[in-house]
Chain A
């Protein structure tokens, strides 16, 4: 089998591989540091026990599922209170309950979402209280 214009083809493949792998070479050895999340808002400082509605590891992994369940509960079932696993009852409200403690959305929610490349659409409609005030 004869490869016509072999030199050009192989050179082209080599150039393509170099260009395609540039991002990997460029970023080699540089690790993006995990986000620095701030939990020092006034509302959290005031809490005796610094606990979220559910334990932190659960919230870290499942807050989106919890928020989705909250949404269904309020909008479709008209139920506005949430009984946590420890028995405490919370008012279901993204702006009123979540953001009351996490009033530093840009240093808490956004930092991690940016890091993870998540783009939640919550804030297209839901209001960030500090922006309105």
Chain B
């Protein structure tokens, strides 16, 4: 039997109420649950409020890098107790310098000036959107945070090095030996690693929690490294990327790197 006009209106009214209610319920639920889940700002553990973003990213204005400058590497490695074993085989790095023709092999052709090919650009973990290292990690020691940072939980790392095989950018290093004796100057505010764990750049996650930008960004006198929230149209990194042509390392692999290079 077809419903009468009165019945139809009743059903339509109830359905309309039903459509409006669920989003409201989830909204209030999310607000109530947020401090616990996100761990946001009950009291920031530092003088400055923690920096938060939807999507952290970095832009590297490689043309500004003065030849031979290693300030970002020094600052990062001092801040994070990165050991210097003094040989290439055991090398551990969070950020490094690499020649353009090695960083962008697909973009290089024989007509490019040699000076350009030999240009050194800073390379670090790309904090990929679709990180292969996270996918292969058998213990979930490497994981992706909601703000895009690909983090390592060194407590869980078993040193299998699957992540090193999976990372197409060589951003990860293994501690084949106890790194403690090889750290030039220990920074007491950050732990070291131990023998048998892999380590990599963490976008200075510990600094962001204290309201400080990454060490490599703050130390750079030329402002060649720009860091910010990609989802915020007013952020430095967005303004730079909106205005100029930028490329990423091996985008064809589908990892979605979040370090952008302006050459």
A residues with a Cβ closer than 8 A to B are 71, 73, 75-81, 83, 89, 91-93, 95-96, 121, 124-127, 129, 132-133
Contact = CB atoms under 8 A, between A and B. Distances in A.
A89 B42 contact: yes
B154 interface: yes
B191 A127 contact: yes
B191 A81 contact: no
Contact of B42 (A77, A83, A126, A132): A83
B191 A78 contact: no
Given A77-B38, A81-B39, A125-B193, 20 more contacts: A73-B39, A75-B153, A76-B143, A77-B37, A78-B39, A78-B145, A78-B205, A79-B38, A79-B39, A80-B39, A80-B209, A81-B42, A95-B191, A96-B189, A121-B194, A124-B195, A126-B191, A127-B188, A132-B188, A133-B188
Interface string B27-38: 000000000011
B154 A125 contact: yes
Interface residues of B, number: 23
A77 B39 contact: yes
B198 to A, nearest CB: 13
B53 to A, nearest CB: 12
B151 interface: yes
A75 B186 contact: no
A5 to B, nearest CB: 52
B63 to A, nearest CB: 34
B43 interface: yes
B194 A125 contact: yes
Nearest to A80: B45
17 contacts: A71-B155, A76-B143, A77-B37, A78-B145, A78-B205, A79-B38, A80-B45, A81-B39, A81-B45, A83-B42, A92-B45, A96-B189, A121-B194, A124-B195, A125-B191, A125-B192, A125-B194
Contacts of B155: 71, 75
B193 A127 contact: no
Interface in B35-70: 37-39, 42-43, 45
A127 B186 contact: yes
Contacts of B38: 77-79
A44 to B, nearest CB: 20
A83 to B, nearest CB: 7
A124 to B, nearest CB: 4
Contact of B188 (A77, A80, A95, A124): A95
B206 to A, nearest CB: 9
Query: Of residues A78, A80, A91, A96, which shows the largest number of chain B Cβ atoms within 10 Å of its Cβ?
Result: A78
Contacts of B191: 95, 125-127
B192 A127 contact: yes
A28 to B, nearest CB: 41
A69 to B, nearest CB: 13
B148 to A, nearest CB: 12
A73 B45 CA distance: 14
A76 B153 contact: yes
Nearest to A124: B194
Interface string B201-213: 0000100010000
B112 to A, nearest CB: 42
Query: Of residues A73, A83, A124, A133, which shows the largest number of chain B Cβ atoms within 10 Å of its Cβ?
Result: A124
Contacts of A71: 155
Contact of B186 (A80, A91, A96, A132): A132
Nearest to A68: B155
B99 to A, nearest CB: 33
Nearest to B196: A124
Interface string B129-155: 000000000000001010000010111
